[in-house]
A = this chain, B = another copy of it.
């Protein structure tokens, strides 16, 4: 089973994707405010603005279907909030890693799922989500912190494992259960998500 076989319900998908981007905006902008380091915080703010632009484009898609964005986003709100609470807290480095890992993985998931939406909407949503997230600044921040204090690496690697666990739990609730997409059959999809996660951790010199 591949992403293209999953066929999520379009309305549900759009509500989830739109709320996720709003949530990424909030996480990144809160980080930007917390960083208080003018060599990184404006870049993180820019990444936040990109997530907001994606959110707005996705709510435009919801309105195009004559649905109400606030209603569509109400359903996924609780589970995304729960993930944010579980992956928040700790040091600033941990919080930056949280956004880098959870948003990275969920973006991959939603971009993958977009491929199995109906053709015209699939093209538009893919174009929205494929735009560069500009989150390199998070990687650069973490690399600079690890370089200054290499002893934080092992803690961050452990934190990364908890993050990926929590995020995959949420991802499992998002992948549609219809069309015979049982746990075993969707495994290849998750293998792909985890491979991308491992590459992100590798780029930080952290064991995934």
Residues of A within 8 A of B (CB): 22, 25-27, 29-30, 32-33, 38-39, 41-42, 45-46, 48-49, 52-53, 55-56, 59, 69-70, 73-74, 77
A42 touches B30 (CB 8 A): no
B residues in contact with A29, CB < 8 Å: 25-26, 29-30, 32-33, 45, 48
9 tightest A-B CB contacts, nearest first:
A29-B29, A26-B33, A38-B70, A49-B49, A49-B52, A45-B52, A38-B73, A39-B70, A30-B33
| Least Cβ–Cβ distance between A89 and chain B, in angstroms | 15
| Least Cβ–Cβ distance between A82 and chain B, in angstroms | 13
| Least Cβ–Cβ distance between A16 and chain B, in angstroms | 13
- Most B C-beta atoms less than 10 A away, residue of A32, A38, A41, A74: A38
| Least Cβ–Cβ distance between A32 and chain B, in angstroms | 6
CA distance A52 to B55 in the complex (A): 16
Task: Give 5 CB contacts A-B under 8 Å.
Answer: A26-B45, A29-B30, A29-B48, A42-B55, A42-B69
- Most B C-beta atoms less than 10 A away, residue of A39, A42, A53, A56: A42
Asked whether A41 and B22 contact (CB < 8 A) given A30-B29, A48-B29, the answer is: yes
| Least Cβ–Cβ distance between A71 and chain B, in angstroms | 8
Q: For residue A84, which residue of chain B has the nearest CB?
A: B33
Asked whether A46 and B38 contact (CB < 8 A) given A29-B25, A30-B29, A33-B26, the answer is: no
CA distance A142 to B74 in the complex (A): 22
| Least Cβ–Cβ distance between A129 and chain B, in angstroms | 18
B residues in contact with A22, CB < 8 Å: 41-42, 45
